[in-house]
Amino acid sequence: MATYKLLLLPGDGIGPEVMAEVKRLIGWLDAQGIATFETEEGLVGGASYDADKVSITDATMAKALAADAVLFGAVGGPKWDPVPYDVRPEAGLLRLRKDLGLYANLRPAICYPALAESSSLKRDLVEGLDIMIVRELTGGVYFGEPKTITDLGNGQKRAIDTQVYDTYEIERIARVAFDLARKRRNKLTSMEKRNVMKSGVLWHEVVTQIHQREYKDVALDHQLADSGGMQLVRRPKQFDVIVTDNLFGDMLSDIAAMLTGSLGMLPSASLGDIDPKTGKRRALYEPVHGSAPDIAGQGAANPIAMMASFGMALRYSFDMGDLADKLDAAIAAVLAKRLRTADLKSEGSTVVSTSQMGEAIVKEIQALHA
């Protein structure tokens, strides 16, 4: 049986609490001989800054490069607001994405039947929702240069962020999205702002060309990103796979999160290219939610997104799709029994702690695997 190398980076706030539930599941899988994982842990974000005055050390980065996959919790919090910009907690995550070459961010938005009432939209709009947002992750305005604040004198300053995309960056993210669409409902929607942004004009042009050359069998449509956001809350089930740039993907995936009932429900995968020599691709898996410092240490965090992120690792890094399906089924079964963490509580539900939710999910997967 293969042994998989996992680097665990719990991070800040609720990150260590939700990561503990993944460690519970990994421990059970190892003990049962279902899979074998060799795990290491490292510091990232504010925790790394407190220890080493950087958001991630070179040594931890080397461990990430050597791992088969990285599991990441969350970073940041008011405690680190005063630290220098280049060592802010979020810089650790940005370095991981950049140095690992993780250009494709997959963010599924699935509404479990038991949680349809938790959505801010009507049940009939979200029940059965299953969409995938594919976000370009290493280009665009978050990485473009120049990125400056200039003192103009007379009490005036000028801030500059730069939106930059090259053809190859758009081509490779489009291929990831088209390939996913082929495995789902064969429908892709590309979102940009070609009406006001030159990068949007190029994005539209390149996606259209890739479609014509390589993916004519996939239905493709284009939407302006602001209109797409409106449609996500108007008729979300019209979408299957959405591909978009870094900035719009960040915003649209958070909108999609609330369709499912809570940010605590959404996992994500960040993928690089497949290594032609090993057949593996570098990957990082993380929940979409933040570090939630206001509830850290209270045992109130929802671990489902973190556990589902591990499920995506099983699917995309370790070729354990059947086990990933069982984990998804276990989560659905626990929710059907009306167990809820505080973010999902509703009338008639039983509110449980982070560890109780994690334990319940592990028990369900045990039953499914028996």
pLDDT digits 0-9 by tens, 232-264: 999 999 999 999 999 999 999 888 878 887 777
Percentage of the residues of the chain whose pLDDT score is greater than 90: 84
Active-site residue, 226 included: yes
Ranges 66-75, 125-134, 257-266, 310-319: which has the least confidence: 257-266
Q: Looking at the structure, tell me whether residues 298 and 250 fall in a common domain.
A: no
The whole-model pTM stands at 0.89
The long-range contacts involving 50-57, CB below 8 angstroms and separated by at least 24 positions, are 53/87, 54/87, 54/92, 55/87, 55/88, 55/89, 55/90, 55/91, 55/92, 55/95, 56/91, 56/92, 56/95, 56/96
**Residue 295 banded pLDDT, cuts 50, 70, 90:** very high
**Residue 128 banded pLDDT, cuts 50, 70, 90:** confident
Residue owning tokens 């390149």: 206
Q: Exactly one of 193, 245, 285, 343 is catalytic; which is it?
A: 193
How high does pLDDT run on average in the chain? 94
Question: Annotated binding site for Mg(2+): which residue ranges?
Answer: 226, 250, 254
Spatial distance between the Cα atoms of 318 and 207, rounded to a whole number of angstroms = 29
pLDDT value at residue 132: 95
**The domain containing residue 356 runs over which residues?**
1-110+262-370
Spatial distance between the Cα atoms of 250 and 244, rounded to a whole number of angstroms = 9
Q: Which of 233, 259, 285 is the last residue of a domain?
A: 259
CA-wise closest residue to 138 among 169, 182, 171? 169
CA-wise closest residue to 284 among 38, 69, 107? 69
Q: Looking at the structure, tell me whether residues 36 and 56 fall in a common domain.
A: yes
Question: Annotated binding site for NAD(+): which residue ranges?
Answer: 77-90, 290-302
Active-site residue, 215 included: no
Structural domain includes residue 119: no
Q: Looking at the structure, tell me whether residues 172 and 223 fall in a common domain.
A: yes
Spatial distance between the Cα atoms of 113 and 332, rounded to a whole number of angstroms = 8
Give the number of other Cβ atoms within 10 Å of residue 265's Cβ. Answer: 28
Structural domain includes residue 123: no
Active-site residue, 187 included: no
Structural domain includes residue 115: no
Dihedral, 287, 246, 100, 285 alpha carbons, nearest 10: 10
- Please report, for residues 19, 72, 116, 160, 359, the alpha-carbon distance to residue 307 in angstroms, rounded to integers and kept in the order given: 8, 11, 20, 38, 11
- Res. 1: pLDDT tops 90: no
Q: Looking at the structure, tell me whether residues 146 and 74 fall in a common domain.
A: no
Q: Exactly one of 130, 254, 345, 363 is catalytic; which is it?
A: 254
pLDDT value at residue 277: 81
Average pLDDT over residues 38-46: 97
Q: Looking at the structure, tell me whether residues 313 and 221 fall in a common domain.
A: no
CA-wise closest residue to 110 among 366, 304, 357? 304
Q: Looking at the structure, tell me whether residues 247 and 220 fall in a common domain.
A: yes
Structural domain includes residue 338: yes
Spatial distance between the Cα atoms of 167 and 87, rounded to a whole number of angstroms = 31
Question: Annotated binding site: which residue ranges?
Answer: 77-90, 97, 107, 135, 226, 250, 254, 290-302
Structural domain includes residue 122: no
pLDDT value at residue 278: 79
Q: Which of 208, 238, 259 is the last residue of a domain?
A: 259
3-class secondary structure, 282: strand
pLDDT tens digits for 156-206? 999 999 999 999 999 999 999 999 999 999 999 999 999 999 999 999 999
Q: Which of 240, 259, 278 is the last residue of a domain?
A: 259
Q: Looking at the structure, tell me whether residues 99 and 139 fall in a common domain.
A: no
- Res. 115: pLDDT tops 80: yes
Please tell me the total count of domains within the chain. Answer: 2
pLDDT tens digits for 327-336? 999 999 999 9
- Res. 370: pLDDT tops 80: no
pLDDT value at residue 233: 93
Q: Exactly one of 49, 103, 142, 215 is catalytic; which is it?
A: 142
Percentage of the residues of the chain whose pLDDT score is greater than 70: 99
Please state the length of the chain: 370
For 353, list phi and psi in degrees, rounded to 5. Answer: -85, 175
Q: Looking at the structure, tell me whether residues 330 and 231 fall in a common domain.
A: no
Structural domain includes residue 146: yes
Q: Looking at the structure, tell me whether residues 138 and 251 fall in a common domain.
A: yes
Structural domain includes residue 62: yes
CB 229 within 8 A of CB 259: no
Q: Looking at the structure, tell me whether residues 352 and 320 fall in a common domain.
A: yes
Q: What is the CATH number of the domain that holds 136?
A: 3.40.718.10
Q: Exactly one of 226, 237, 325, 345 is catalytic; which is it?
A: 226
Average pLDDT over residues 347-369: 95
Q: Exactly one of 245, 250, 328, 343 is catalytic; which is it?
A: 250
122 vs 313, which has greater pLDDT? 313
Active-site residue, 165 included: no
Q: Looking at the structure, tell me whether residues 136 and 251 fall in a common domain.
A: yes
Active-site residue, 254 included: yes
Question: Annotated binding site for substrate: which residue ranges?
Answer: 97, 107, 135, 226
Average pLDDT over residues 127-141: 94
Q: Looking at the structure, tell me whether residues 253 and 268 fall in a common domain.
A: no
Structural domain includes residue 117: no
pLDDT tens digits for 85-108? 999 999 999 999 989 999 999 999
